[in-house]
């Protein structure tokens, strides 16, 4: 009897302990400002499923949709305290991590998809290194969200048309709000979920939004005119806090990152088509597009150029601006 007990004990010591221990599960709470029923929602759900499979069930993404975790300032605080572990941030949120990021959204610096692709290809690796070296956050993927445009009650063709109106701006986008103030616009801070109330109540007459957001919030129903001019690219990114990223077993990290980057590429490829479809849908429901001529567009560009010296150092990074400007100028010469 004693012999059998000793044999069984020795066998238990020789068998790897992992057989008797379930793998630890890492739950990553991700704050998403987008609704689930969008292309971004669909890709996040697919990414969550692929991460679970690739990690043998050890890594689970739990997604909180529709901005329920608060604005970007609140989300950043929660990321730092580990109350949530990942989030979709816009360039305004990323700017709090690495100030150079917001320069990509300087009005009229980048004017079309080709210029944006050229600029991102050149500066994205550097920006990712800066974010990852912050020791607080790790960049998983970037996302294009379309182009910011002016939506207004009265027609807007030239800067003075808009300067006669009260322009609503997301209260979280303090830097861009300050930039437009410096250009002479009457700015009114508005919470994202109060845009319709402010438009209908007459607190604001116009707003700058991506068409995707204008369609989703139904803002175009009150601000029925959209200037055709691209104001700035609207960018987003998925970040995870470094504490959580380092908890993920090392053998999974490269695979999970590749999955995120693949979804980045697939989603970015679909955004232009999505934006065009949304604009067409809004037109069928009463949206009027004010087509801006090249001469009128130049007035907008001149307006920004006059204000830029006051914005460098406080709102936009001058070295990054110069670098992006050189990239887009080279692109324009080639095309």
The Cα 247–Cα 86 span in angstroms is 13
Give phi and psi for 83, each to the nearest 5: -65, -35
For 44-72, how does the pLDDT look when each residue is reduced to its tens digit (9 = 90+)? 999 999 999 999 999 999 999 988 898 88
Q: Is the dihedral of CA 163, 166, 171, 172 positive or negative?
A: negative
Distances in whole angstroms, Cα of residue 274 to Cα of each of 40, 63, 211, 219, 266: 11, 23, 10, 18, 13
The conformation of residue 221, written as its DSSP 8-state character, comes to G
Distances in whole angstroms, Cα of residue 149 to Cα of each of 63, 91, 252, 290, 292: 29, 16, 40, 11, 12
pLDDT tier at 15 (50, 70, 90 boundaries)? Answer: very low
Spatial contact of 200 and 222, defined as CB atoms under 8 Å apart: yes
Q: Which residues contact 317 (CB under 8 A, 6 or more apart)?
A: 99, 100, 102, 103
**pTM (two decimals):** 0.85
Q: What angle (nearest 5°) sits at the alpha carbon of residue 31, between those of residues 30 and 36?
A: 95
pLDDT tier at 7 (50, 70, 90 boundaries)? Answer: very low
The Cα 197–Cα 124 span in angstroms is 37
The yes-or-no verdict on residue 2 having pLDDT over 70 is no
The Cα 125–Cα 305 span in angstroms is 28
More confident residue, 8 or 265: 265
Residue 239: both structure tokens together: 């970040």
Arithmetic mean of pLDDT, 208-218? 86
More confident residue, 274 or 6: 274
Q: pLDDT value at position 13?
A: 43
Q: pLDDT value at position 191?
A: 80
**What string of H, E and C letters represents the secondary structure of 102-129?**
HHHHCCCCCCCHHHHHHHHHHHHHHHHH
The yes-or-no verdict on residue 102 having pLDDT over 70 is yes
The yes-or-no verdict on residue 95 having pLDDT over 80 is yes
Distances in whole angstroms, Cα of residue 231 to Cα of each of 10, 14, 75, 211, 243: 72, 66, 26, 12, 37
Q: pLDDT value at position 299?
A: 97
The yes-or-no verdict on residue 19 having pLDDT over 60 is no
Arithmetic mean of pLDDT, 253-282? 90
Spatial contact of 215 and 277, defined as CB atoms under 8 Å apart: no
Spatial contact of 210 and 273, defined as CB atoms under 8 Å apart: no
Domains, the chain, with CATH or none: 20-334 (3.40.190.170)
Arithmetic mean of pLDDT, 235-260? 95
The yes-or-no verdict on residue 212 having pLDDT over 90 is no
pLDDT tier at 36 (50, 70, 90 boundaries)? Answer: confident
Rg (CA), the chain: 24
Q: What angle (nearest 5°) sits at the alpha carbon of residue 315, between those of residues 146 and 172?
A: 60
Q: pLDDT value at position 18?
A: 44
For 191-335, strand residue ranges (E) read 206-209, 225-227, 232-241, 288-290
- Please list, residue by residue across 193-205, b when 16 or more beta carbons sit within 10 angstroms of its beta carbon and e when fewer do: ebbbebbeeeebb
pLDDT tier at 14 (50, 70, 90 boundaries)? Answer: very low
Q: To the nearest whole number, what is the mean pLDDT of the chain?
A: 88
The yes-or-no verdict on residue 221 having pLDDT over 90 is yes
Q: pLDDT value at position 262?
A: 94
When mean pLDDT is compared across 153-157, 190-194, 280-284, the lowest value belongs to 190-194
More confident residue, 71 or 162: 162
- Cα–chain center distance at 223: 24
How many CA atoms does the CB half-sphere of 194 hold within 13 Å? 15
Alpha-carbon torsion angle 82, 249, 33, 315, nearest 10: 70
When mean pLDDT is compared across 19-28, 258-267, 272-281, 303-312, the lowest value belongs to 19-28
Distances in whole angstroms, Cα of residue 213 to Cα of each of 192, 216, 218, 278, 279: 10, 5, 8, 10, 11
Q: pLDDT value at position 23?
A: 59
The yes-or-no verdict on residue 271 having pLDDT over 60 is yes
């Amino acid at each position: 009897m004693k012999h059998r007990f000793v044999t069984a004990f020795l066998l238990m010591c020789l068998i790897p302990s992992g057989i008797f221990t379930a793998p630890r599960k890492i739950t990553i709470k991700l704050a998403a400002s987008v609704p689930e029923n969008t292309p971004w929602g669909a890709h996040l759900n697919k990414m969550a499923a692929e991460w679970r499979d690739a990690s043998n069930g050890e890594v689970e993404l739990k997604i909180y949709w529709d901005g329920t975790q608060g604005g970007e300032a609140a989300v950043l605080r929660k990321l730092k305290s580990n109350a949530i572990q990942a989030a979709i941030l816009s360039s305004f949120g990323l700017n709090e991590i690495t100030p150079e990021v917001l320069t990509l959204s300087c009005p009229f610096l980048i004017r079309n998809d080709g210029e944006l692709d050229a600029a991102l290809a050149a500066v994205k690796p550097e920006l990712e290194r800066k974010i990852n070296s912050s020791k607080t956050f790790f960049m998983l993927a970037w996302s294009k969200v379309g182009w910011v445009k002016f939506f207004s009650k009265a027609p807007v063709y030239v800067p003075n048309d808009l300067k006669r109106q009260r322009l609503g701006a997301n209260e979280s986008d303090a830097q861009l709000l300050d930039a437009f103030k410096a250009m002479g616009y009457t700015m009114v801070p508005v919470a994202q979920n109060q845009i319709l109330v402010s438009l209908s109540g007459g607190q604001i007459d116009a707003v700058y939004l991506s068409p995707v957001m204008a369609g989703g919030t139904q803002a175009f129903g009150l601000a029925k005119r959209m200037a055709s001019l691209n104001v700035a690219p609207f960018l987003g990114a998925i970040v995870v806090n470094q504490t959580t990223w380092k908890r993920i077993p090392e053998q999974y990290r490269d695979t999970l990152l590749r999955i995120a980057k693949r979804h980045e590429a697939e989603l970015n490829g679909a955004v232009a088509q999505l934006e065009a479809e949304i604009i067409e849908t809004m037109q069928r429901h009463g949206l009027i597009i004010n087509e801006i001529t090249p001469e009128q567009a130049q007035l907008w560009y001149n307006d920004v150029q006059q204000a830029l010296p006051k914005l460098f150092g406080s709102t936009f990074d001058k070295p990054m601006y110069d670098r992006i400007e050189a990239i887009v100028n080279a692109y324009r010469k080639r095309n």
